[in-house]
Amino acid sequence: MKISVPIIANVDFLLLGGSVEGCRKAVELAKKGYSVFAATPYSHFGEDICSTLELLDSGRKTPAQVKHELDLAFIESGADFLFQSSAAALTLDEKGNVAGAVIANRTGFQAINAKCILDATQFGLAAQYYCNGENNFIPREYEVSLIQIGACKTSGDITLEQLPDVVEDGISYPVFRAIKRMNFTEFSPESLNKGMITMRRACFHPNMVRCADQCVYHFGNICKPVDPESGILTKENFTFAETLIQKRPARKASRVKTFSSSGKNYEVVRLDKPIRFNDDSFPTIEFDLNTLPVLASCDVLVTGAGTAGAPAAIAAARSGAETIVTESMAYPGGICTSGMICTYWFGNRCGFTRELDKCSNEMGPNPVTDILHGNTYNPIWKQQWLMQEIDDAGGKQFYFTFCVGAVIQGNRVCGSLCAGPFGCGIILAKRCVDATGNADLAAAAGGAVMPFIPEEPAVQGAGLAPFPLKPHTEGSDENSDYSFVCDSDVADGSRFFVMARGKFNDCFDVTNILDTRERRRIDGDIHLQPQDIYANRTYSDTITIARSNFDTHGFTVHPMFLIKASEKEPYYAKVPFRALLPKNLEHILVTGLAVSAHRDCMPLIRMQPDLQNQGYAAGLAAAMTAADELPMRKIDIRKLQKKLVGKEILPESILQENDAVCGNSGDGSHSFLSLIFLDEQNAIPNLKKIFSADPENIQYALILAYLGDDSGKNLLKRTVESMEWDQGWNYRGMGQFGASCSPLDSMIMALDRINDGTDIIFKKLQTISVQSEFSHIRAVSMYFIHHPQPAAAKELRRLLSSSGMSGHAIKNYSDALSSNRKDRDDTSVRNLQLKEIYLAKALCKCDSLDTFGRSVLDSYRTSMQGYYSLFAKVE
C-alpha cells in the first residue's frame, strides 16, 4: 500500500535516536539558532545510559534525573521532539540526496525534512538505511553486559563487576554488572532479543530490585562508513555538523528510499485515520509500505505482551504453535509490571491467573508480598516468570517493538508491520492476536473501531507511575490518576512522559508505559453494554467470567447511568468470544482493553486477573484455528470452552449455556432499567401506558425522554424550572463510584434528548457561576451544543471570560510541566480544562463569529492533549 505521509517539520538537523552524546549535540546546535527535531524509539532521551543503567557506573544521578534534565534541555533550547518514534526510512530529494527521514509510531508515519541527520540510534540505523541495510557485523562470540540492582545470580560463565551502591530513602542497594560471552550468528531483532532473554535468565536473583531494560552488546561499530557529505553524521563525526550545514541547502523530500517490493502476495497497510497530523495543512510524500523487509514468520503472532498479551503468547506456544510476541516495553506484563500497578482491585482469580499468581509467587523464598493470600504481587518476579514461561514454551519475544501497520490478504490479517530500535519490518503469521490494548493491529488493517470521542471527552483518567527501588508491600503500588492521555496520539504520549518526569523527578525512575484505563476499542460481532451485566446475560460462546465494580475513574455517559447511577458493589460479567472479533476482519482476535464493549461497562471487564484469563483464551483460540486452518468464526467454540474448563478459567456449567437474558442481577431498579435498554423500542409503549396512569411520576418521564419519547416533557420542564441547582459533581478520578451528575443535571440532559425546554435551560444558564460544579456546566453546555441559541452566547461568554476560567490548554511541553500539581492524583487542572472546553464549544455553536470563544476552542484543537483536541474538532 502506498500511503501519503505528512511532512510535519522542516529543520536544519534531525536527531534520530536519543543517546546522551546525540542529545548534547542537538541541544548545542539548537541553542546556536539552528532548527532541530528529535525522534527516539524510547519514551525518553538518554537511552544509552538510562535504559542500560550504565549511568550508575560514572555518576550519582538517577535515571529520573537524567531523563528530566534532558527533557528540560530540549525544551529550553527550542528543539521539538517526539518519543516512541522509530526511524522507518530515509527520504531523498529530486537529485537523490538525503532529505530527511520517515518516522513511525502508534499515530502512523510522519516525515521530517532536514539538511542533516544526526544518527544517534543504538545501531546506526540511519547509516544502515543509507547502505541499503548492509553492515559490518561479523558472526562470532561477543561480550554482553547487564546491570542489576540489589542482587545478581552468579554462575561459571558470568563475570560480575560491583559498581557503586545506589541509595534511596537512606537504604543502600548494591549494583552489579554481569558480563557473559555469547555467540551471535546474525545481527537481527530475533538474535539480539534472544541474547537479552538469555542474560536475564542467567542473572535473575529473587533479591534484585531492578534489572536494566537493555543489555549492552559489545559489537563495536558495525556500521559501514558513511561519508559526512551524504548528510548523515554518526557520533564519530558529529563535530562536522556546523561545517556541513553551511554547504547544504534546505532539503525537500520527493521520494522515500526503499527496498524492492517484488514477489509479495500480501498488502502492507495502515488504514486507520491518524488522530494527529491529519489535516490538509501538511504537505505529503508517498511511501510504499510493501517495500519494507520481512523480519520473521510464525503460526501465531501476538502484538503486545501486556496483561492479556503475555498470557496469549504462553497459551499459543504451549499449544504447539510457532509463536512470536512483540512488545513495546522491555519486559512482558504491561501495566501490571512495567506500569507498576501491582495490586489486584477486583477480578475473578481463577484459571491461568491462579497459575500465574502461584508460580510468580514462588520465584524466590520469603516473598515480600504474597499474592496467594493478599492482593499485591512482586512485579519484578511476575515479569520474570512471564518472560521465562514464554521462552520455555518455545515462543519468540521481540521487545522494544511496536505495531505500526498490518499485513492483509483481502479481509484476512496475516501479520504486523513493526517498528523499534531496529527500524521497520514485517512479521507474517497464520493467525494474529491484537493485544496492544488499543486495537493497533486491527485498526491498521481497516477493522471496525469505535470512535475515540463519540460526543464527549468522557474517558477514564490515566497515570504514569514513579518507579522506586523499594520492594512493594501488601496494598502498595504506584497507581495514579492525574491526567487524560490518548495512546494513539504520539504527541499526547510524549507530553505525558515529560509531565510525569517533572512530577516525579525526585524518585529513582519513572515508568515507560502510559497507565491508561481506557483506549480505542473495536466494533465487534457483539458489543457489550452495561445492561447486559445487570440483566445477567449469558452467551453460547463465553470465554471468561470477569468480576469487578463500576470504578469509573471519571464520568459516565450511558443513559442508564444518567437515570440511576451505578453502585459500588461488584458484579460478575460474562465475556463472549464474539466481543474479540472485529466485524469486518478475519484471522484476528482482539483482547484486553480494546474488546468490543461500551466504555461504561469496561471497568467491569478490565481487571488484571480477568484480562490475564481472557488473553490466555485468545492465544489458545488462535493456536487452535491455526492448527485446524479454520477462520476464527468457524472455531469449535465448545471445544475451546472445554479446554478453558480444563484450565479452570470457566466452570463446566458454561457448556450448557446459550444466548439468553436471565435477569435478577444487581438491585431491582437496575434490573428493571436493563431490561428496558435491552429492547428500547418495545419497552416504550408499556412505559407510556404506566406514565399515563401516573402523570406525575418523574422517573418514568425521565426514562421515556432518554429513550427519545417526549410524553413526559411537560413534567420534566416544570420540575427543572422549579428546582434550584442541587449538589453537582466535579471531576474525580481515583475511587469514583456512583453518580457523576445531579438529578437536575440528568433532567436537563433528558430534555436535551427530546429537544425541548430551551427557555428553561437558558434561565438555568443565567444562574451558573464559575464556582458551579463541572456536571452543571457539562449539562447546560451539551444542551446548547446540540441546540444552539444566539441568546445563550452572552451568558456562555460571561462564564468563559471569568477570571481563571480560560487559558488551561496544554499547547507545548512547557505547559505540560506547568500543569503539574503537588497532589499525585490532582483533579483541579482537569476540572478547569473540562469546564473551559465545554463552555468554549457551546459558545462557538451559539455564536460562530465569537472570536474569544473561537480562540479558546482553537487552543484545545491544536493542543497536545488528544482527547481534548478531538472534542474541539468534532462538529
pLDDT for res 263: 64
Taking residue 72's Cβ as centre, other Cβ atoms within 10 Å add up to: 18
**Residue 225: DSSP 8-state:** P
Using alpha carbons, select from 732, 735, 767 the residue that is nearest to residue 748.
Answer: 767
| pLDDT tens per residue across span 346-363 | 999 999 999 999 999 999
pTM (2 decimals)? Answer: 0.96
The three cell numbers of residue 718 are 416544570
| pLDDT tens per residue across span 650-689 | 999 999 999 998 876 656 678 899 999 999 999 999 999 9
Q: Facing residues of 545 across strands?
A: 574
Q: Are 423 and 104 contacting, i.e. CB atoms less than 8 angstroms apart?
A: no
Calculate the alpha carbon distances from 484 to 598, 601, 867 in Å.
Answer: 18, 19, 8
Using alpha carbons, select from 97, 142, 167, 120 the residue that is nearest to residue 22.
Answer: 120
Contacts (Cβ under 8 Å, ≥6 apart) of 117: 13, 14, 15, 16, 90, 98, 100, 101, 126, 231, 232, 233
Rounded CA separation 194/78 (Å): 39
Rounded CA separation 482/463 (Å): 6
Contacts (Cβ under 8 Å, ≥6 apart) of 467: 64, 340, 478, 507, 508, 509, 510, 511
CA atoms 517, 523, 526, 528: torsion sign: positive
Low-confidence ranges of the chain (pLDDT < 70): 59, 260-263, 664-668
pLDDT for res 703: 97
Calculate the alpha carbon distances from 189 to 296, 396, 424 in Å.
Answer: 9, 10, 11
DSSP-based helix, strand, coil % in the chain, nearest 5: 35, 20, 40
For 553-605, the DSSP string reads SS----HHHHHS---SS-EEEEEEGGGGSBTT-BSEEE-STTSSB-GGGHHHH
| Block residue for cell numbers 468563559 | 800
Q: Are 512 and 383 contacting, i.e. CB atoms less than 8 angstroms apart?
A: no
Using alpha carbons, select from 670, 712, 671 the residue that is nearest to residue 688.
Answer: 712
